[in-house]
Amino acid sequence: MSSREGFLLSLMAIGLLMVGSPWLLDYSGNELAAISACGIGTLLMVPAMAALLGRQEIATGAALTLGAWSLLAPIVVGFATELPALTVHLIAGTASMLLAVASQDWRSQGPPEIRV
């Protein structure tokens, strides 16, 4: 399995876990937290599927953006006191962003151009 495929499968797994987490961790009663988890999870899976069709940059950008939103959502949306939801959002956001950074092929880029 290539690193690209590993990245995409990992994004799909994070997305599936996010979608299922309100019921797995029993916070489905908190509608805002459940909607946030399901929305972020679904949105993580869509670009991963698009990347399977050759659009890797879409998946990377989406993973960074949705990861950042996942970290901020408990505070912005207002469910930071719901510990299971908070934990899932923080773990998924951090994992998504780390995977996106790790998936980049840093060797293919030349050194930055320095102009004097």
Can you say how many angstroms the Cα of residue 7 is from the centroid of all Cα atoms in its chain?
A: 11
Domain ranges of the chain: 3-104
pLDDT value at position 111?
Answer: 64
- Distant-in-sequence, close-in-space partners of 20: CB < 8 Å, separation ≥ 6: 41
pLDDT top residue among 10 and 89: 89
Residues 6+ apart with CB under 8 A from 109: none
Give me the mean pLDDT over the 38-64 stretch.
83
pLDDT value of position 47: 78
The letter for the amino acid at 78 is G
Please, which pLDDT band fits residue 105 given cuts at 50, 70 and 90?
low
* Confidence at residue 98, expressed as pLDDT on a 0 to 100 scale: 92
Query: Mean pLDDT over residues 27-37, rounded?
Result: 95
Question: Taking all residues of the chain, what is their mean pLDDT, rounded to a whole number?
Answer: 87
SS (H, E, C) 18-59: HHHHHHHCCCCCCHHHHHHHHHHHHHHHHHHHHHHCCCHHHH
Q: Which long-range contacts (CB under 8 A, 24 or more apart) does 57-63 make?
A: 59/7, 59/8, 59/11, 59/100, 60/100, 60/103, 60/104, 61/100, 63/11, 63/96, 63/97, 63/99, 63/100, 63/103
Give the per-residue pLDDT at 106.
Answer: 58
23-32, 62-71, 99-108: least confident range = 99-108
45 and 10 Cβ atoms separated by less than 8 Å: no
